[in-house]
Structure 1
């Protein structure tokens, strides 16, 4: 299959600090790719490079020119206005007439079970509701690929289940997911493929079952082995 997004020999440096080194990554339509690794391993940075927010210092990022993508951050930014307007503004900026943008925003909020709070101030919503609002905002743009940075890290168990369910539903429609997560249970439930990073390098890129149930990772990295055992964060 042709790649939606491909990184070739990507390095990223911030001054003397190497954030990513020699990253090779190919993502095709319909995949659910989990980026895992300890804090500081480069997961969030890699997502930002994939989304085009940070250009690489070296190497290339190749995108399907017809692909639409959206990104959810760990703490979604919400404007001090209604939930409906938070969704509609993104559509309006993209060129959708305001009346139609509001209609599509209501549809998107309904899609994530948030229709009843459409007129509430988004800043007054709970953390889980704000994350679902961010998902509605992304879904309204009909992306082919959705990038998510630790989408449930600050949520309570009930809200985590709601967000995971929405991610699974989006994937079932054919949307490609690339998400960073520390929650290995979540990775096992949602991902078809696992990319393990350590100090900005990709040390493993395997189907989920093979990553967790295959040969010990110790041959690749002792830190990877400890991470999978839950002994590092």
Structure 2
């Protein structure tokens, strides 16, 4: 789905946390959301998902507000939010809330577990899984909803290299299946591997929206150059 942000702003008290953002992101793009800590990346993801409502402006997916796309826009958090139930039940419960019949839920759960390589762990309690397995389970739950968009907030920042590579492989698979992905990350090597455009934020403002090549090779903004140097060296 195509994303349009029109004069998007989010305010808490007298603090302007997201400041008048306008942009358009095409449906086929895997988008990196970059910026220093506190720049507003997570807030922007929440607004794009519909978890938060803008103070001003609007978020549109294919010309409709996020609330019109129940289940089609999903989110994967930095720290997975899982039920104290089995891996299978974590996914099944999300589908139950969508009103799907049991047979359809079962087929989707098993397909999602297979897609992330967790079929053999379907009866394991989620809390005993490793960090990487928990993150893959969270992704499987999102995939079972058959989304058009997945928003990811630092999905590999707490994982070891092997687990992070597994998650990246799944992200590439999602791209090939036509899912639009926006991923907040500080990992510039990951951005180069996965993404084809960058949104760079600074203090709640959109500082740059460009292709990967332009971002890494043609940026002249001091904040962007400083950020790239600080993350790559």
Q: Same fold (TM over 0.5)?
A: yes
**Number of equivalenced pairs:** 227
The aligned residue for residue 169 of structure 1 is 173
1:160 aligned to which of 161, 164, 175: 164
Which consecutive residues of structure 1, in runs of 5 or more, have no partner in the other structure? none
- For 1:157 and 1:112, locate their aligned partners in 2 and report how far apart those are by CA, in whole Å: 16
1:42-191 pair list within 5 angstroms? 42-64=40-62, 65=64, 68-191=72-195
Asked if 1:223 corresponds to 2:223, the answer is: yes
Is 1:20 equivalent to 2:24 in the alignment? no
Partners of 2:91 and 2:141 within 8 A in 1? yes
Partner of 1:210: 214
What TM-score does the superposition give when structure 2 sets the normalisation length?
0.93
Q: What SS does the corresponding residue of 1:106 show, helix, strand or coil? A: helix
Deviations 1:162-201 (A, max 9, x none): 0011001100111111110000100111110001100000
Distance 1:104 1:174 in 2: 18
Q: Displacement, 1:6?
A: 1.0
The gaps in structure 2 that reach 5 residues or longer are: none
Q: Shift in Å at residue 211 of structure 1?
A: 0.6
3-state secondary structure, aligned to 1:230:
helix
1:88-108 per-residue CA deviation (whole Å, 9 max, x = no partner) reads 111111011234313321221
Contact 2:188 2:231 in 1 (8 A): no
Q: In the aligned structure 1, how far is the partner of 2:137 from the partner of 2:10?
A: 32
In the alignment, the residues of structure 1 paired with residue 45 and residue 161 of structure 2 have an alpha-carbon distance, to the nearest angstrom, of 25
Question: 1:31·1:177 contact (CA, 8 Å) conserved in 2?
Answer: yes
CA RMSD of aligned residues (A): 1.7
Structure 1 outlier segments of 4+, above 6 Å: none
Q: Measure the CA separation in 2 of the matches of 1:102 and 1:173.
A: 21
Q: Determine if contact 1:85/1:102 at 8 Å carries over to the other structure.
A: no
Partners of 1:41 and 1:77 in 2: how far apart?
23
**1:32 maps to 2:36:** no
8 A contact 2:3–2:27 mirrored in 1: no
Q: Distance in 2 between matches of 1:36 and 1:223?
A: 12
**Secondary structure class of the residue paired with 2:142:** helix
- Per the TM alignment, residue 231 of structure 1 is displaced from its structure 2 partner at its CA by 5.9
Distance 1:172 1:101 in 2: 23
